[in-house]
């Protein structure tokens, strides 16, 4: 005979089920809480999925036809004459000089214009410095460009056949080829008529539509001399005794100029909130040795000025100081080569009041990981120009790579081949 099955009384059965549910609920509760605490205390740069980055293909890779660029030999008043002032080749807008010289020493240089995919027009528009304040005077930029276009269109057939679509200009000023230092005025002026149909290599870039980036363009880094980061130690091997660094213009009482305030008052807010905080090394006056200060700093503030970008972005990377970008909507150069979310921090302009807390959180969590990525030689090389030639993976190399992607659409010679 089979023994009779043992039946659990209904009350005990219900109590047993209730105990199981309570245990399961506690386990799920603690799992959820632990996950929430982990996520809320982990910097977003660690949480974002970063797929393994592929090495970019070189512009002259055998997998694609070799890019060829013809450089116009313009009269010296368009370029070389300006080099009598040594600042022309070394200031923050000097990418126009560096790119010209690098292309002349590049394997992409085409001696015969009939073989060229693109035509580079070397006009230095940012080298006319004001005697009063030392800033570039830009009122001559549009006439100078118009004169250059007039000259090449009359002496060569290449501009007229494409209406300048396969021609390249550098526009390394605050708002690119709009040639004004203030955003609202620059947008009202718009891109210089002479270069509207051409490819612009410009430092200005924002996420939202803007009149000063309506032309086809490649976003490039601002110029810093390549030797600036050469003699300093990696961030983890150097003494970094400054927690937060900024040296530059900070208006105590910002002025309303044509409806705009400098830095949208962000720099004023930083000064007013943190000037008495000993952890913030803030200075309002120029100092030639500021790079040694950056090399001693953990975090370097990169707030907008009139334009969203500044050379501090590149200098911070070159000197191993974590860039803290405070410029809403900025676009950054070469994102495929430079993993900006992994090597920098972005703080919204409205959140400047939380700056110390944000940086404390990073310093206590993944600062070492950010510093290691920041010091990657490939990352630092991608943001620096080398005059006299192209170095594998440097800024000019990446410009050529970007231009290679425009060949089928913009090169008159290649379009004829594909037709």
pLDDT digits (tens, 9 = 90+) for 348-391: 999 999 999 999 999 999 999 999 999 999 999 999 999 889 99
Contact criterion met (CB below 8 Å) for 248 and 286: no
397: Cβ–Cβ under 8 A, 6 or more apart, which residues? 58, 59, 390, 391
Give CATH superfamily name and number for 226-381: Glycogen Phosphorylase B; (3.40.50.2000)
pLDDT digits (tens, 9 = 90+) for 3-40: 444 444 444 444 544 444 444 444 443 344 333 333 33
User: What pLDDT band is residue 315 in, cutting at 50, 70 and 90?
Assistant: very high
User: What pLDDT band is residue 255 in, cutting at 50, 70 and 90?
Assistant: confident
Nearest residue to 67 via CA among 13, 107, 19, 27: 107
Structure tokens of 42?
């982990």
Strand order in the sheet with 297-303: 280-283, 242-247, 297-303, 322-326, 345-346
pLDDT digits (tens, 9 = 90+) for 232-251: 778 877 789 999 999 999 99
Residue ranges, comma separated, of all CATH 3.40.50.2000 domains in the chain are 226-381
For position 23, what pLDDT does the model report?
46
Contact criterion met (CB below 8 Å) for 410 and 69: no
For position 378, what pLDDT does the model report?
96
Cα-Cα-Cα-Cα torsion 181, 354, 289, 227, nearest 10 degrees, comes to: -80
Contact criterion met (CB below 8 Å) for 168 and 402: no
For position 226, what pLDDT does the model report?
87
- Whose tokens are 């090399």? That residue is 295
Structure tokens of 104?
């002349």
Nearest residue to 113 via CA among 80, 158, 83: 158
Nearest residue to 246 via CA among 203, 287, 185, 217: 287
Q: Is residue 228 scored above 60 in pLDDT?
A: yes
pLDDT digits (tens, 9 = 90+) for 94-147: 999 999 999 999 999 999 999 999 999 999 999 999 888 888 989 999 999 999
Contact criterion met (CB below 8 Å) for 284 and 278: no
Q: Is residue 2 scored above 50 in pLDDT?
A: no
Neighbours of 232 (CB within 10 A): 18
pLDDT above 90 coverage of the chain, percent: 73
User: What pLDDT band is residue 73 in, cutting at 50, 70 and 90?
Assistant: very high
What is the CB-side half-sphere exposure of residue 163 using CA atoms within 13 A?
3
Question: What is the rounded CA–CA span in Å between residue 101 and residue 95?
Answer: 10
Neighbours of 311 (CB within 10 A): 19
The secondary structure of the chain in percent helix, strand, coil, rounded to multiples of 5, reads 45, 10, 45
Contact criterion met (CB below 8 Å) for 316 and 302: yes
Question: What is the rounded CA–CA span in Å between residue 100 and residue 390?
Answer: 11
pLDDT digits (tens, 9 = 90+) for 318-334: 999 999 999 999 999 99
Instruction: Please give the model's pTM, rounded to 2 decimal places.
Output: 0.84
């Amino acid at each position: 005979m089979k023994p009779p099955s043992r039946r659990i009384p209904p009350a005990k059965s219900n109590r047993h089920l209730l105990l199981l549910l309570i245990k399961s609920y506690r386990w799920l509760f603690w799992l959820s809480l632990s996950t929430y605490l982990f996520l809320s205390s982990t910097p977003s740069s660690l949480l974002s999925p970063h797929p393994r980055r592929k090495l970019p293909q070189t512009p002259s890779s055998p997998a694609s036809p070799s890019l060829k660029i013809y450089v116009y030999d313009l009269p010296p008043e368009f370029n070389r004459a300006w080099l009598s002032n040594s600042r022309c080749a070394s200031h923050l807008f000097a990418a126009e000089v560096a790119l010209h010289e690098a292309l002349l020493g590049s394997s992409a240089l085409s001696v015969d214009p009939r073989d060229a995919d693109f035509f580079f027009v070397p006009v230095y528009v940012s080298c006319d410095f004001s005697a009063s304040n030392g800033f570039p005077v830009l009122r001559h930029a549009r006439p100078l460009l118009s004169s250059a276009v007039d000259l090449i269109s009359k002496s060569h057939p290449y501009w007229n056949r494409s209406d300048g679509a396969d021609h390249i200009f550098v526009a390394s000023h605050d708002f690119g080829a709009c040639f004004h230092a203030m955003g609202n005025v620059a947008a009202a002026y718009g891109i210089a008529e002479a270069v509207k149909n051409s490819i612009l290599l410009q430092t200005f870039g924002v996420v939202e539509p803007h009149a000063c980036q309506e032309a086809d363009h490649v976003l490039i880094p601002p110029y810093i001399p390549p030797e600036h980061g050469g003699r300093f130690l990696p961030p983890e091997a150097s003494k970094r005794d400054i927690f937060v660094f900024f040296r530059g213009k900070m208006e105590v009482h910002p002025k309303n100029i044509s409806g705009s305030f400098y830095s949208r008052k962000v720099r004023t807010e930083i000064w007013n909130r943190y000037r008495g905080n000993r952890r913030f090394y803030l200075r309002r006056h120029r100092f030639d040795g500021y790079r040694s200060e950056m090399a001693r700093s953990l975090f370097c503030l990169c707030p907008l000025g009139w334009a969203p970008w500044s050379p501090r972005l590149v200098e911070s990377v070159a000197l191993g100081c974590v860039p803290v970008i405070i410029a809403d909507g900025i676009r950054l150069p070469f994102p495929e080569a430079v993993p900006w979310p992994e090597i920098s921090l972005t703080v919204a302009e409205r959140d400047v009041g939380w700056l110390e807390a944000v940086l404390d959180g990073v310093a206590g969590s993944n600062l070492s990981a950010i510093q290691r990525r920041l010091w990657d030689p490939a990352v630092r090389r991608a943001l620096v120009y080398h005059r006299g030639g192209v170095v594998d993976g440097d800024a000019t190399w990446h410009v050529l790579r970007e231009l290679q992607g425009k060949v089928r659409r913009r090169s008159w010679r290649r379009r004829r081949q594909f037709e």
